[in-house]
Chains A and B, each alone.
Chain A
Amino acid sequence: QVQLVQSGAEVKKPGASVKVSCQASGFTFTKYYIHWVRQAPGQGLEWMGRFTPNPRDIIYAQEFQGRVTLTRDTSTRTDYLDLSSLRSDDTAVYFCARDGGNHDFDHWGQGTLVTVSS
């Protein structure tokens, strides 16, 4: 079955960077796009960006432009979210989610808690 397994919780200091991984199984990985979504404590879901195999089609939410990078390692079926210049308000659970082909998010990773604290 489709599974997205994310890396473990991280604690970072302000100004640092964090890299979250999302390993896929149970489907033809190269045929699907992966989105990243975050949820800050007590807040709603926030779309961050979408990875596509064509670098020109990778797209990021304006709020994260310049701070976020999405990459993929097809040999390990793993997508990565790299977020730099971390601030305390980046403290959130970060999710990867598969694009089901209908501009939706049909399968989700379990989430990775990133805590930014001095």
Chain B
Amino acid sequence: QSALTQPASVSGSPGQLITISCTGSSSDVGAYDLVSWYQVHPGKAPKFMMYHVTNRPSGVSNRFSGSKSGDTASLTISGLQAEDEADYYCSSYTTSDTWVFGGGTKLTVL
């Protein structure tokens, strides 16, 4: 199972909106609405940010939103803040009853 494709890096200034894409195939992202997103600060455990493509877990800011079209899911962060600077990973359940992660995207807040 190949990793999902994410941009290596994105950047934005405080207050701006950025979007991180996550492209898979008809065997994973395109097969189900079972895409989730994770925020990883250096040396820390991942934090659960989004599930079922568009759903935010309790406690996650509404500045984070998710969407999907075909084989590509996206995470959008509005009103960018310094604390959002981190690595972001998408994950999808697959038709093989396994899970696959994206390669990760480094978000820099300028």
Distance between A65 CB and nearest chain B CB, rounded to angstroms? 11
Cβ contact within 8 Å between A107 and B101: no
How many angstroms between the C-alpha atoms of A50 and B3 in the bound complex?
18
Q: How large is the interface on B (under 10, 10 to 19, 20 to 34, 35 or more residues)?
A: 20 to 34
Residues of B within 8 Å of A35, CB to CB, are: 99
How many angstroms between the C-alpha atoms of A98 and B57 in the bound complex?
14
Interface secondary structure of A, over-half rule: strand
How many angstroms between the C-alpha atoms of A100 and B47 in the bound complex?
13
Closest B residue, CB atoms, query A97: B46
Selected from B34, B46, B47, the residue in CB contact (under 8 A) with A45 is B46
Q: Which of A7-15, A71-79, A80-88, A108-116 contacts B (4 or more CB under 8 A)?
A: A108-116
Cβ contact within 8 Å between B100 and A107: no
Contact with A along B68-92 (1 / 0, CB 8 A): 0000000000000000000001010
Within 8 A of B (CB), among A89-106: 95, 97, 100, 102-106
How many angstroms between the C-alpha atoms of A29 and B52 in the bound complex?
23
Within 8 A of B (CB), among A36-84: 37, 44-47, 50, 59, 61-62
Cβ contact within 8 Å between A104 and B1: no
Residues of A within 8 Å of B23, CB to CB, are: none
Given contacts A35-B99, A45-B101, A102 and B46 within 8 Å (CB-CB): no
Distance between B108 CB and nearest chain A CB, rounded to angstroms? 17
Binding site for B on A (CB under 8 A): 35, 37, 44-47, 50, 59, 61-62, 95, 97, 100, 102-111
Binding site for A on B (CB under 8 A): 1, 3, 32, 34, 36, 38, 40, 45-48, 51-52, 55, 57, 89, 91, 93, 97-104
